[in-house]
Structure 1
Amino acid sequence: MSSVPSKPLATRERLSEVRYEIRGELARRARELEAQGRKLIKLNIGNPGAFGFRAPDHLQHAIADDMDRTDPYTHQQGLPAAREAVAAYYARRNMPHAHPDRVFIGNGVSELIDLSLRALLNPGDEVLVPSPDYPLWSAATILNDGRPVYYQCDASNGFQPDPSEIETLVSSRTRAIVLINPNNPTGATYSRELLQRIVVIAAKHRLLLLVDEIYDQILYDGARFEPLAPLAGDVPCITFSGLSKVHRACGWRVGWALLSGATELITPLHQAMDLLGALRLCANVPGQYAVDAALNGPDTITALCTPGGRLYETRRAVIEACQASEHLQLVAPAGALYAFPAIVGDAARQFDDYRFALDLMETEGVLVVPGSSFNVPYRHHFRVTLMPEAASMREVFSRIDRALSRHAEAVTKVVPIKPAARNAAA
């Protein structure tokens, strides 16, 4: 009988470089508190179903009506009808080369991001990633043996990237530029002129554009969304989107990636992605039957994002709470499902976003994501999702302000010097 090994199994070393606090230690602590009977308001994940949203009825019916056809594997790139619907939708957006053969359906955008980077990167290759980013982009780059190189999107500039800085970061190992538009976590949207400048950089340095457009229809106060691929033309580009956010169907795990660009430039990448797609056999089949209904059915998101709509009113509650607080400053999100407030004033002294998030959960029952989780060089931001009801969000920010007031008072409290100590100092 063999003895039990005395040392734990070693794991991949590069995992130590990966951050994903959205579902990390704080979320594990939240589960412990809930197991003890604590009620928490959890604002860490953009998960519509957890806040009472449902996927639209016409999507649910589309799956139910075809359920008896969902047992077999399908093509590794996805159901032909789903790929045709995606290609036709993007052709209406003037995407060049929009064809079903260039569409990949995946188990959510997350799988397709990982698959595309695995197809692209050799060890040591670099990917230009926004800071702040959605941390999956950094993680997928690292775990596919690449190196994320960050371009800054500063609050002082409305979280907009600076194309001049992006170009200075290009090296002989750079393979791609990542754009998240509308942005998670900041809610920034990018103008046509800005995107055109980034396309010029990609063309000049022969880089792949990777554009995460999962929030493309979630816009507020007249903000415009500009798809990147029509501006890129023959420059290689992969556009990512899916059912999770606009159509509130996160659990169905249906995303798509569409390759655009000159055929001779993207064929090797296309073939590599096809091989990797085949190795995982196919994406889940039932959810793919909802793709055509989602892209050709009624608009169910705009009403939520305009005055009176649930997302709009919750966003308004966050903006007003930050304006009323002496401790908070916010660049109002123009799109997506998040706000990324900054801590200012006395509360910003000796402030650590992780310690604050833990204290906020323990004392006030609110779970937020520390800003440093989004690969930024500072620690005075946090992210919240905009999906609770507006009244609930006003209560959340009342608790946040209370916690920040306690911190500000603690760090500004002056301990009186005793007379003896004063005399000794004299």
Structure 2
Amino acid sequence: MAGQGTERPWQVRATFLARNTNNLIRNVIENLKVQPNPEKKLIPLSLGDPTVFGNITPPEELLQAVRDSIDNNKSRTYGPTNGQLEARQAVADYSIHQGRVTADDVILTSGCAHALELAITVLAEDGQNILVPRPGYMIYMTLAEGLGIQIKYYDLLPEQKWKVDLGSLQKQIDDKTAAIVVINPSNPCGSVYSEEHLLEILDIASKNRVPIIADEIYEHFVFSGHKYTAMSALSKDVPILTCSGLTKRFLVPGWRMGWLIVHDRNNIFGKEIRQGLRNLCGRLLGPTTLIQHALPSILTSMPQHFFDGVMFFIESQAKLACEALQRAPGLRPIMPQGSMYMMIEIKVSMFSEFQNDLQFIERLYSEQSVLCIPGQCFYYPNFMRIVLTVPEEILREACQRIIAFCKDHATPKEKHMEMITNKLSVDKEWRVIY
């Protein structure tokens, strides 16, 4: 019998969920086999946190809203699992650009990642699949695969400013596809889709009767000459779960305040999906009430010049990095249209020492103490992603180190004249895109 004697060995195993939950970016970065050069100060261009260096900070109005919340007893009590009514109404009012939104359509979450988890788990289950862009942020894999939900990838087109390859998207859809994830503006690509292109994606979703999970955490995070359009504002019949939050635009990722908005004009989701979302909210009992109570003030008191200033700075950084890294042999930067990242192609064939992007990143880290994210973290080899929110002088220094590294390791030109000629030709095309 159990508890008698010691014949029975201990057998304690992690669950299938725990064994199959992986954060690809964190796993790669935390398991690098090299250390940075101790003679050079580390420059991390890896973490998508705009607050790390302290050079861009939220305005006083936002901070005061939370100070006021501290003094209110309601900010210390439990709240409804889907969020306080006043806070949900504030999000609904703020999200008018998404189409008609009521407080009943809004669920407050512990960051945008939690909103994405709710969206995935209410729509998909073991044996089904969701479609994710490649390259794309890999939190979807982290959230889904431990539940037995398969991730299938549709391709983006770098030569077309990372637009969706519509043929690839259509090809991936099958009778087990539960949802299509669309990231706009994009992490890691920095693309911002036109209304025309969003309508093309919606048309495929409509014809195949597949709902969309719209990851719009970078909503309004666009550069001059480009326009962000909420996917839900264009949909006539496709039901959409839009996920966003304070993290990026308001520069407070550590506050973990996000939201999910249900857009279902034709009642395709019905009561079951909405009730399922409410049920899932009961697992965490709602996000922090301290920030919830401050949310109405946060979403209405922020001056527009603050947002404009942040975007002007990041766009200037993108131009700086794109122009500088075009001088690095073997690299091809792609000018983004928004968000806070840039994808850079690594022509690995021009670096005979390296077999892939990870080896390139590791050596760059060990020699120049510059840390970038390898493309394989986005299932897109021979690219790397850099973050653009670091101070200007640090970004300039990082670019100079990357250029020096490429010059040190690129195969001698005389052995690759044809390759270099081809590169110059392609670079000319990319500069037109830029």
The separation in 1 between residues aligned to 2:296 and 2:88, in whole angstroms, is 9
1:294 alignment partner in structure 2: 298
- The residue correspondences of 1:25-104 to structure 2 (distance < 5 A) are 25-27=28-30, 39-52=41-54, 53-67=56-70, 68=72, 69-91=74-96, 93=97, 95-96=99-100, 98-104=101-107
- The residue correspondences of 1:156-167 to structure 2 (distance < 5 A) are 156-167=159-170
Q: Does 1:170 align with 2:173?
A: yes
- The residue correspondences of 1:402-421 to structure 2 (distance < 5 A) are 402-409=404-411
- Cα separation, partners in 2 of 1:159 and 1:351, compared to 1, 3 Å: farther
Displacement of 1:221 after TM fit?
A: 2.8
Deviation sequence 1:346-397 (CA, Å, 0-9, x none) = 5355441112222211111111110110122xx2111110011222112111
1:305 alignment partner in structure 2: 311
2:255 alignment partner in structure 1: 252
**Matched AA of 1:79:** Q
**Matched AA of 1:385:** V
Displacement of 1:171 after TM fit?
A: 0.5
Displacement of 1:320 after TM fit?
A: 0.9
- Cα separation, partners in 2 of 1:345 and 1:286, compared to 1, 3 Å: same
What fraction of aligned residue pairs are identical, expressed as a percent? 27
Match of 1:333 among 333, 336, 342: 336
The separation in 2 between residues aligned to 1:262 and 1:193, in whole angstroms, is 20
Match of 2:217 among 211, 214, 219: 214
The 3-state SS of whatever aligns with 2:173 is coil
1:423 alignment partner in structure 2: none
The 3-state SS of whatever aligns with 2:189 is coil
The 3-state SS of whatever aligns with 1:186 is coil
Stretch moving more, 11-20 or 192-201: 11-20
Which TM-score applies when normalising by structure 2? 0.86
Would you say the 8 A contact 1:178–1:210 is kept in 2? yes
**Matched AA of 1:383:** R
Flag structure 2 segments of 5+ consecutive residues without an equivalent: 417-434
Aligned Cα RMSD in Å?
Answer: 2.8
The separation in 2 between residues aligned to 1:127 and 1:259, in whole angstroms, is 18
Stretch moving more, 329-338 or 229-238: 229-238
The separation in 2 between residues aligned to 1:393 and 1:366, in whole angstroms, is 10
Q: Does 1:127 align with 2:130?
A: yes
2:422 alignment partner in structure 1: none
The separation in 1 between residues aligned to 2:7 and 2:308, in whole angstroms, is 62
Q: Does 1:183 align with 2:186?
A: yes
The 3-state SS of whatever aligns with 1:175 is strand
Stretch moving more, 288-297 or 192-201: 288-297
Would you say the 8 A contact 1:330–1:342 is kept in 2? yes
The 3-state SS of whatever aligns with 1:294 is helix
The separation in 2 between residues aligned to 1:10 and 1:152, in whole angstroms, is 34
1:420 alignment partner in structure 2: none
Match of 1:314 among 314, 317, 326: 317
Deviation sequence 1:103-144 (CA, Å, 0-9, x none) = 011110001111221122121111111000101022222123
Which TM-score applies when normalising by structure 1? 0.87
The separation in 2 between residues aligned to 1:294 and 1:250, in whole angstroms, is 14
- Cα separation, partners in 2 of 1:366 and 1:113, compared to 1, 3 Å: same
- Cα separation, partners in 2 of 1:235 and 1:3, compared to 1, 3 Å: same
- Cα separation, partners in 2 of 1:17 and 1:275, compared to 1, 3 Å: closer
Deviation sequence 1:257-310 (CA, Å, 0-9, x none) = 10001363222111111101012111112122333233322222222223xxx2
Match of 1:368 among 369, 372, 393: 372
The separation in 1 between residues aligned to 2:59 and 2:390, in whole angstroms, is 18
2:115 alignment partner in structure 1: 112
- Cα separation, partners in 2 of 1:338 and 1:90, compared to 1, 3 Å: same
Would you say the 8 A contact 1:78–1:283 is kept in 2? yes
Would you say the 8 A contact 1:243–1:255 is kept in 2? yes
Displacement of 1:226 after TM fit?
A: 1.1
The separation in 1 between residues aligned to 2:359 and 2:409, in whole angstroms, is 11
Deviation sequence 1:42-95 (CA, Å, 0-9, x none) = 11111122121322221111111021332111111112111101112223x251
**Matched AA of 1:336:** S
Stretch moving more, 176-185 or 137-146: 137-146
- Cα separation, partners in 2 of 1:404 and 1:145, compared to 1, 3 Å: same
The 3-state SS of whatever aligns with 2:51 is helix
- Cα separation, partners in 2 of 1:13 and 1:246, compared to 1, 3 Å: closer
**Matched AA of 2:240:** C
Displacement of 1:174 after TM fit?
A: 0.7
Match of 1:342 among 338, 341, 345: 345
- Cα separation, partners in 2 of 1:238 and 1:48, compared to 1, 3 Å: same
2:393 alignment partner in structure 1: 391
Would you say the 8 A contact 2:138–2:378 is kept in 1? yes
Would you say the 8 A contact 1:233–1:261 is kept in 2? no
The separation in 2 between residues aligned to 1:209 and 1:393, in whole angstroms, is 36
**Matched AA of 1:397:** C
Deviation sequence 1:384-423 (CA, Å, 0-9, x none) = 1001122211211111122223332489989xxxxxxxxx
Stretch moving more, 335-344 or 115-124: 115-124
The separation in 1 between residues aligned to 2:184 and 2:379, in whole angstroms, is 17
1:149 alignment partner in structure 2: 152
1:192 alignment partner in structure 2: 195
